[in-house]
Structure 1
Amino acid sequence: MELSRSAHVDTFARDHLPPPEQWPRLLLEGGPTAHYPERLNCGFELLDAGIARFGADRTALHDADGPRWTYRQLRAEVDRIAHVLTAELGVAPGNRVLLRGSNSPRMAACWLAVTKAGAVAVTVLAAQRRGELRTVCELARVRHALCDVSALDELVKADVPGLRVTAFGGDDDELGRLAARHDGPYGAVDTAADDVALIAFTSGTTGRPKGCVHFHRDVLAVADTFSAHVLRPEPEDVFAGSPPLGFTFGLGGLLVFPLRAGASALLAQWSGPEQMLEAVARHRVTVLFTAPTGYRAMLERLDGHDVSSLRRCVSAGENLPEATWRAWERATGLRLINGIGATELLHIFISAADDDARPGLTGVPVPGFEARIQQPDGLPLPDGEPGLLAVRGPVGCRYLADDRQRGYVQGGWNLTGDTYVREPDGYFRFVARADDMIVSSGYNIAGPEVEDALLRHPDVAEAAVVGRPDARRGQIAVAHVVLRDGVPRTPETAEELGAFARAELAPYKCPRTFVFTAALPRTPTGKLQRFRLREAGAGDGADAGAGAGGEGGGGGGETGR
Structure 2
Amino acid sequence: MHLLPSAHVDTFAREHLPPADTWPELRFDLPKLQYPDRLNCGAELLDATIAALGPDRPCLRTEDGQVWSYGDLRAHTDRIARVLTEDLGVVPGNRVLLRGVTTPWLVACWLAVMKAGAVAVTVLAAQRSTELATVIEIADVRHALCDARSLDELAAVDAPGLSITPYGGQTPDDLLTLAAKTSDAPFPALATSADDVALIAFTSGTTGRPKGCLHFHRDVLAIADTFSAHVLRPTPDDVFAGTPPLGFTFGLGGLVIFPLRVGASALLLEQPSPAALPAAIARHRVSVLFTAPTAYRVLLDHADEADLSSLRRCVSAGENLPAATWHAWFDRTGLPLINGIGATELLHIFISAADADARPGVTGLPVPGFRARVIDATTGAEVPDGTPGLLAVQGPTGCRYLDDPRQRDYVRDGWNLTGDTYIRDPDGRFRYQARADDMIISAGYNIAGPEVEEALLRHPDVREAAVIGVADETRGQVVMAFVVLAEGVPADDGTAKGLQDFVKSTISAYKYPRRIEFREALPRTPTGKLQRFRLRSPDL
Note whether the superposition's TM-score is higher than 0.5.
yes
What residue in structure 2 maps to residue 172 of structure 1? 171
What residue in structure 1 maps to residue 531 of structure 2? none
The reply on whether 1:365 has 2:366 as its aligned counterpart is yes
The reply on whether 1:285 has 2:283 as its aligned counterpart is no
Q: 2:430 aligns with which of 428, 431, 444?
A: 428
User: Equivalents in 2 of 1:201, 1:462: separation in Å?
Assistant: 22
Shift in CA distance, 436/134, structure 1 to aligned 2, threshold 3 Å? closer
User: Equivalents in 2 of 1:436, 1:247: separation in Å?
Assistant: 20
User: Equivalents in 2 of 1:205, 1:142: separation in Å?
Assistant: 24
User: Equivalents in 1 of 2:279, 2:518: separation in Å?
Assistant: 37
User: Equivalents in 2 of 1:418, 1:227: separation in Å?
Assistant: 23
Q: 2:396 aligns with which of 394, 397, 421?
A: 394
After superposition, the C-alpha distances for 1:449-477 in whole angstroms (9 at most, x for unaligned) are x95xx85xxxxx455499999xxxxxxxx
Give the AA of the match of 1:125: L
Residues 33, 222 of structure 2: 8 Å contact kept: no
User: Equivalents in 2 of 1:560, 1:245: separation in Å?
Assistant: 37
What residue in structure 2 maps to residue 119 of structure 1? 118
User: Equivalents in 2 of 1:538, 1:371: separation in Å?
Assistant: 45
User: Equivalents in 2 of 1:243, 1:539: separation in Å?
Assistant: 38
After superposition, the C-alpha distances for 1:96-116 in whole angstroms (9 at most, x for unaligned) are 000000000000000000000
Residues 61, 265 of structure 2: 8 Å contact kept: yes
Count of paired positions: 475
What residue in structure 1 maps to residue 40 of structure 2? 41
Shift in CA distance, 241/539, structure 1 to aligned 2, threshold 3 Å? farther
What residue in structure 1 maps to residue 138 of structure 2? 139
Shift in CA distance, 560/66, structure 1 to aligned 2, threshold 3 Å? closer
User: Equivalents in 1 of 2:517, 2:100: separation in Å?
Assistant: 31
After superposition, the C-alpha distances for 1:178-229 in whole angstroms (9 at most, x for unaligned) are 1012211000001000000000000456421000000000000000000000
Give the AA of the match of 1:402: D
User: Equivalents in 2 of 1:203, 1:360: separation in Å?
Assistant: 27
What residue in structure 2 maps to residue 295 of structure 1? 296
* CA apart distance, 1:53: 1.2
User: Equivalents in 2 of 1:251, 1:525: separation in Å?
Assistant: 21
Residues 125, 524 of structure 1: 8 Å contact kept: no
The reply on whether 1:105 has 2:104 as its aligned counterpart is yes
Q: How does 1:68-467 map to 2 (within 5 A)?
A: 68-172=67-171, 174-182=174-182, 183-203=184-204, 206-270=207-271, 272-376=273-377, 377-435=379-437, 455=473, 461-462=474-475, 464=477
* CA apart distance, 1:525: 10
After superposition, the C-alpha distances for 1:368-392 in whole angstroms (9 at most, x for unaligned) are 0010000122111010000000001
User: Equivalents in 1 of 2:204, 2:115: separation in Å?
Assistant: 26
The reply on whether 1:59 has 2:58 as its aligned counterpart is yes
* CA apart distance, 1:274: 2.6
Shift in CA distance, 398/271, structure 1 to aligned 2, threshold 3 Å? closer
User: Equivalents in 1 of 2:538, 2:359: separation in Å?
Assistant: 35
Shift in CA distance, 188/465, structure 1 to aligned 2, threshold 3 Å? closer
User: Equivalents in 1 of 2:202, 2:508: separation in Å?
Assistant: 13
Residues 197, 215 of structure 2: 8 Å contact kept: yes
Residues 279, 305 of structure 2: 8 Å contact kept: no
Root mean square deviation, CA, Å: 2.8
Residues 357, 363 of structure 1: 8 Å contact kept: yes
After superposition, the C-alpha distances for 1:419-469 in whole angstroms (9 at most, x for unaligned) are 0000000000000001369xxxxxxxxxxxx95xx85xxxxx455499999
Give the AA of the match of 1:433: R
Aligned sequence identity (%): 65
| TM-score, length of structure 2 as denominator length | 0.83
Give the AA of the match of 1:8: H
User: Equivalents in 1 of 2:266, 2:365: separation in Å?
Assistant: 27
After superposition, the C-alpha distances for 1:4-31 in whole angstroms (9 at most, x for unaligned) are 0100000000000001111000002x31
Shift in CA distance, 524/254, structure 1 to aligned 2, threshold 3 Å? farther
User: Equivalents in 2 of 1:26, 1:125: separation in Å?
Assistant: 29
User: Equivalents in 2 of 1:31, 1:271: separation in Å?
Assistant: 35
Shift in CA distance, 191/73, structure 1 to aligned 2, threshold 3 Å? same
* CA apart distance, 1:296: 0.8
Gaps of at least 5 residues in structure 2 are: 440-469, 483-499, 524-536
* CA apart distance, 1:304: 2.0
Give the AA of the match of 1:27: R
* CA apart distance, 1:139: 0.5
User: Equivalents in 1 of 2:5, 2:168: separation in Å?
Assistant: 37
Residues 97, 144 of structure 1: 8 Å contact kept: yes
User: Equivalents in 2 of 1:465, 1:100: separation in Å?
Assistant: 26
What residue in structure 2 maps to residue 18 of structure 1? 18
SS class of match (1:313): strand
User: Equivalents in 2 of 1:98, 1:385: separation in Å?
Assistant: 43
SS class of match (1:180): helix
